[in-house]
């Protein structure tokens, strides 16, 4: 999920930015410092939204940089268990698929791609045996987060598409149309039965 967070911290502005306006230098430094920044507690930083306050700077002996106590807003992405996420299939492998969710990506094990026996082809496509559904690079999908691990440099996200309303968007649309047709059929049968009872 995306969050807007408010942070107050000392920002270390490097000497090569001393010729800039202080607020601009702090913002540039924040954008450099938080580029690809990930933390278990706050998530993955997507952008520096706004610098609200920059107080007077201090210089620490032996360090050529200046430190400014600053208050700023960040946009972060922090995955939550059971959250529904929208993304694009980035890569297909013989053990599953990797889906980009914007700032990070998750892995869908081959057994979690669809309710079917799934096989991997040499052309990089996952195919269901009975349903003949295909999953390939570039497909837009909806998945559910079922596992999150923060071991390593970036979080590892486990996803599933084996639940109603999940999967490739084409599959979800087809399921919705099928259930709408079934509902209309049931309504028609009930209407017929009601007419016969009234007679």
Residue 163 sits in which domain range?
Answer: 84-171
pTM of the full structure = 0.76
Q: Judge if 66 and 107 occupy the same domain.
A: no
The verdict on 137 and 62 lying in the same domain is no
pLDDT at 64 over 80: yes
105 and 133 fall within a common domain: yes
Residue 49 and residue 103 in one domain: no
pLDDT digits (tens, 9 = 90+) for 122-153: 888 998 888 788 999 999 999 999 999 988 77
Of 171, 165, 145, 109, whose CA–CA distance to 118 is shortest? 109
Which pLDDT does position 187 carry in this prediction?
86
Same domain, 25 and 73: yes
Q: Are 86 and 161 within 8 A, CB to CB? A: no
- Secondary structure of residue 187 in the 3-state scheme: helix
- Is the residue at 196 inside a domain? no
Please check whether residue 144 lies inside any domain of the structure.
yes
- Residue 197's pLDDT band, with cuts at 50, 70 and 90, is low
Q: How far is CA 167 from CA 60, 127, 136, in A?
A: 54, 13, 12
Predicted pLDDT at 93: 92
147's tokens: 């596992």
Structure tokens at 124: 């990089």
* 161 is a domain residue: yes
Question: Which residue, of 27, 53, 77, is where some domain finishes?
Answer: 77
- Is the residue at 47 inside a domain? yes
Tell whether 107 and 134 lie within a shared domain.
yes
Residue 69 falls within a domain, yes or no?
Answer: yes
Query: 96 and 66 in one domain?
Result: no
Confidence of residue 102 (pLDDT cuts 50, 70, 90): confident
Same domain, 141 and 156: yes
Average pLDDT, the chain: 90
- Residue 186 counted as domain residue: no
88 lies in the same domain as 27:
no
Domain CATH number, residue 92: 2.40.50.140
How many structural domains comprise the chain?
2
């Amino acid at each position: 999920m995306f969050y807007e967070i408010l942070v107050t911290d000392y920002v270390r502005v490097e000497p090569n930015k001393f010729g800039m306006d202080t607020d601009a230098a702090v913002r540039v430094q924040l954008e450099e410092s938080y580029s690809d920044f990930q933390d278990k507690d706050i998530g993955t930083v997507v952008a520096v939204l706004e610098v609200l306050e920059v107080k007077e700077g201090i210089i620490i002996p032996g360090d050529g940089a200046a430190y400014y106590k600053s208050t700023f807003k960040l946009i972060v992405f922090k995955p939550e268990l059971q959250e529904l996420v929208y993304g694009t299939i980035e890569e297909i492998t013989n053990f599953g698929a990797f889906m980009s969710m914007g700032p990070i990506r998750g892995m869908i094990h081959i057994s979690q791609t669809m309710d079917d026996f799934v096989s991997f082809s040499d052309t990089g496509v996952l195919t269901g045996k009975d349903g003949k559904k295909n999953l390939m690079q570039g497909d837009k999908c909806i998945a559910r987060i079922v596992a999150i691990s923060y071991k390593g440099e970036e979080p590892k996200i486990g996803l599933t598409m084996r639940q109603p309303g999940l999967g490739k968007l084409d599959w979800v649309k087809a399921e919705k149309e099928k259930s709408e047709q079934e509902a209309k059929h049931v309504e028609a049968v009930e209407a017929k039965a009601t007419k016969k009872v009234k007679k």
